[in-house]
Amino acid sequence: KKNVLVAPSLLAANFLELGKAVDMVNRSEADWLHLDVMDGQFVPNISFGIPVIAHVTRQARKTCDVHLMIEHPEQYAEAFQKAGANILTVHAEACVHLHRNIQQIKALGMKAGVALNPHTPVQVLENIIRDIDVVLIMSVNPGFGGQSFIPQTLPKLRQLRALINGQQAHALVEVDGGVTVENAAAIVEAGADVLVAGSTVFSAADPATVIKQLKQS
Ligand code: DX5
Ligand code: ZN
C-alpha cells in the first residue's frame, strides 16, 4: 500500500493559538505543514505572510510546504526561503515565466511546486513536468478553506498521473481543497500522493486522529 503524505493546512487553525496548532502537527503522523499565503490580488482573500511563516517554521518539525496564492511570486521567493520554506509552490496562472520561476526556487535550495486552478488543464505542464518537484491540484477555487471538493478533480488527477508516468517524471501530486476522511481514498486512488486538509483536521475534536485516518486512505 502506498505511503500517503498528509499536509494539514494552518489556514483553518485558531490564529491566536498558532503555536499549539504547530505542536499538534509536530506530534501527529502528518508529513508536511501546509502554509497558505494569499495577497488579495491573485485570490479574493488575505491570509498571513512572511513574518508569521518565519515564526511557524522555527517551531515546526515537519516539511514546511508554502502555497503562494500571490501575483509576482518571483519577487518573494528569496524571502520565503529565508523564512524557512522547504517547498515553495507558485500558481501557473500567476507566472508568465513559469519555467524561470521554477529554476529560481530550486536555485534557492527549495523544492519547486506548481499549482493549477480547477480550470487549468494539466497539459500546461507537458513541457516542464520533469523540472517540477510537486504539482498541486486545486480541488476548490483558491482563496478560502471549508469549500466542497470539485468532482472533476478525479479525472484530472488521472490525466496528470498519465502525463507524469508517460515522461518518467518524479513530481509528487498534491491535492488541496475539500479533502475529507470520506473522499480521501478516492482521491488517492485517482493518483494523489499528498493530501492537504484544513477544516477537516482543525474543526475535528481530535485532529491527530483525523490526520491518522487520512494517512490510512
Ligand atoms: C485554499 C487553500 C487550502 C485550504 C484548504 O485556497 O489553498 O490549502 O486551506 O482548506 P480545506 O481543507 O478546508 O478545503
Ligand atoms: Zn493551499
- Render pLDDT for 95-150 as a digit per residue (tens, 0 to 9): 999 999 999 999 999 999 999 999 999 999 999 999 999 999 999 999 999 999 99
Q: How does pLDDT run across 17-68, given as a tens digit for each residue?
A: 999 999 999 999 999 999 999 999 999 999 999 999 999 999 999 999 999 9
* CA 91 / ligand 2 centre spacing (Å): 11
Which ligand 1 atom is nearest residue 138's CA?
7
Tens of pLDDT, residue by residue over 159-203, are 999 999 999 999 999 999 999 999 999 999 999 999 999 999 999
* pLDDT confidence tier of residue 2, bands split at 50, 70 and 90: confident
Spell out which residues line ligand 1, taking CB within 6 angstroms: 9, 11-12, 34, 36, 67, 140, 142-147, 176-179, 196-200
Q: Judging by beta carbons within 10 Å of its beta carbon (0-12, 13-18, 19+), is residue 72 exposed, middle or buried? A: middle
pTM over 0.95: yes
Establish whether 206 is a catalytic residue. Answer: no
Place of cell 488527477: 157
pLDDT > 90 in the chain, percent: 99
Q: What are the sequence ranges of the domains in the chain?
A: 5-215
Q: If pLDDT is split at 50, 70 and 90, which confidence band does 1 have? A: confident
Query: What's the gap in Å between 33 CA and the centre of ligand 1?
Result: 12
CATH of 5-215, one of 3.20.20.70, 3.30.379.10, 3.40.47.10, 3.90.400.10: 3.20.20.70
Residue 59: predicted pLDDT: 98
Give the model confidence (pLDDT) of 73-94 as tens digits: 999 999 999 999 999 999 999 9
Task: Report the alpha-carbon distance of residue 81 to residue 89 in Å, rounded.
Answer: 12
If you measure from the C-alpha of residue 52 to the centroid of ligand 1, how many angstroms do you get, rounded to a whole number?
A: 18
Give the residue, out of 14, 32, 89, 147, with the most ligand 1 atoms within 8 A of its beta carbon, to mutate for a pocket test: 147
- Examine the residue annotation and report whether 176 is marked as an active-site residue of this protein: yes
